[in-house]
Structure 1
Amino acid sequence: MIALDPARQLGCAVGRVGGKPTLSSIKLGNARTPDEELFGNGASTLDRVIRESGAVAMAIERPFFKEGESNYGTTVVLHGLYGVFVGVAIMRGLRVFPVAVKTWRSVALGTSKFASRQAGKSASMALCEQLGWEASDDNAADAGGVWIWGTSTIAPYGVVSDLIGGLNAAL
């Protein structure tokens, strides 16, 4: 299973159902990188991750627009990356599972209601720490949350023992 939190700083989680994912944050470009180059970087990055991992499924956070928090440029980038990643995954034969932020947060974090965007990201970081998963930043941690949702969606009983074991080890 590959799980993605699409952005210029891509959050990526890769691991088998019932296992422990490897979390990473991959820089696809910066604020000055042209969108076309960013999309090309995203396509080649996901293609490499698929080939190296042998994954057969991908969970991906759906882009959204929130008045007051989103602007046109960010909306174009997030929707463009989403399209690129879904297209590459389908081209490579992966089953794709899109998910809304509030849905994966409800499953992975127990709630989707946080006081702020940053509070939700902090909760993802805290969960990864509790599970003993190394997350270099909140992009990687959010991908871990998407991975929890994705693996629990395709194999709900295959994830439980590993997560409980991780929690018990953290306590």
Structure 2
Amino acid sequence: MAWMQRNALWIALLAAAAALAFAFTSQYVFDLWPCVLCLYQRWPYAMVIILALAGITLRKRYGAAPFLLLAALAFLVTAGIGGYHVGVEQGWWEGTAECVGDTGAVSNINDLKAKIMSTPLVRCDEIAWSLFGISMAGYNVIFAIVMAVFCFITALSSSRKN
């Protein structure tokens, strides 16, 4: 347990980086293009990376606890967005009308228009991939909650030591 407390910021950093790596690999290697809710779920992971790097840099001055608590909050935000996304996928409530297509690598407005028109729209209520009946959004909820609890517990235990 002491090893995890000493390295909690590194664990949060690696977990967030792994989540983003999984998302980008799914998108660019396996052509599982994200809907707008999928994109929103990525931003808190980027925030965790920034917080963890700041915490690693400033740990001697401020301790790890404030950065771990903020990271826990960011993990809870992505879990909340993921939970909302699961509800949209299951038809429990209406989702957003926004959709996302591939608009990268164009040189002029006509190429952009052609690319937009040829790219299929990605809807938030359609499950692109699942394993054991759990979608990627569902796995994001599970992963993010586990990481939020980890960050919260290690923050509390590290603040008690100080």
User: What TM bracket, shorter-length normalisation?
Assistant: under 0.3
Compare the two structures and name the one with the higher helix fraction: 2
Q: When the two structures are superposed, what TM-score results if normalisation uses the length of structure 1?
A: 0.23
TM-score by length of 2: 0.24
- Counting strand residues as a fraction of each chain, which structure ranks higher? 1
Which has the greater radius of gyration?
Answer: 2
